[in-house]
Structure 1
């Protein structure tokens, strides 16, 4: 009986994760870690929004940055301003949802034309990340 309950609970959790991914809702908290040409990137983003459109704040280097983006259930795109040596930047993350619920992809930094890679994950204390279908 216990095995049956566990199977039912797992099925319910899995189906809710798949529904979450299908609805394209990336709202919530995400931790982003990456690298741009040897420079470590660490953002903690809190996002909200209906459907696929996201708005919120990413905190980078102890500064809150207004953030916009989209999450269609498999692809996350986030954009926010930044700064390096007093020069204004635009940081764009574009990544795909992985089987483990993380999002991996590329970082684009303009106007410097620098690039890098990142992984985004839900902190353990928040809602689990969606799983790809």
Structure 2
């Protein structure tokens, strides 16, 4: 399971880097090339949405069936282990939600840039006529 979280972490880092690259100001030609490149990558990268959704369901199921250590009988080690598992679950939820949000941001940025490019071409055609 740790390998899956590592993969999700790397995907989120890559999505953050791509979102940063798409939002930086570039010359028009370079911007269009970057948008077209990342638009080709966005479609196959859709796997991250069900992947993170599955992990969210897994976290929810584990949270519902987790043994609680709130009584006086629990040792300090058991309480620490319980709190650590809660913190890890919260971190993983944030990671899953971030993966979905960053994917949506990249998709939206690419869509809006393509729409701007299409409108500029239409404006250029109308000026030529």
Q: Which has the higher strand share?
A: 1
Superposition TM-score tier, normalisation by shorter sequence: under 0.3
TM-score of the two chains, using structure 1 as the length reference: 0.26
Who wins on radius of gyration, i.e. which is larger? 2
Q: Which has the higher contact order (CA 8 A, sep 6+)?
A: 2
Q: TM-score, normalised by structure 2?
A: 0.26
